[in-house]
Amino acid sequence: MKAISSKENIEETFPEGGFTIDGVRLMLHISHDEVAALLAAYDPNDFNSPDIVTCRALARLILDALNSMD
């Protein structure tokens, strides 16, 4: 199971990178079982990994959260 529990507008500075981001912070929660399944199906050496269904589900979760912001 995946869920985004909070969204907030932030400005955060990253001294190690020397940059500031004025943007949105999302808190994403993913169950341990789903993390294990996602990582088991992921091959960092394969450009087509993860599969399109997984990519679309994660993208929609993020886009729905961004779209619901006040």
Identify the burial level of 58 via C-beta atoms within 10 angstroms of its C-beta, where 0-12 means exposed, 13-18 middle and 19 or more buried: middle
Region 37-62: mean pLDDT is 90
The more confidently predicted of residues 41 and 45 is 45
Q: Compute the Cα dihedral for 36, 41, 44, 48 and give only its sign.
A: negative
What pLDDT sits at residue 70?
Answer: 59
* Strand ranges (E), 1-70: 2-14, 19-30
- In the prediction, which pLDDT does 1 show? 75
Annotate 42-54 with DSSP letters as a single string.
--TT-TT-S-HHH
Instruction: Show me where the domains of the chain are located.
Output: 2-67
Over range 31-60, report the average pLDDT. Answer: 91
Q: How much is the average pLDDT of 47-55?
A: 92
Q: What is the pLDDT of residues 12-39, one digit of tens each?
A: 999 999 999 999 998 888 889 988 988 8
18: left (phi over 0), alpha (psi -120 to 50) or beta: left
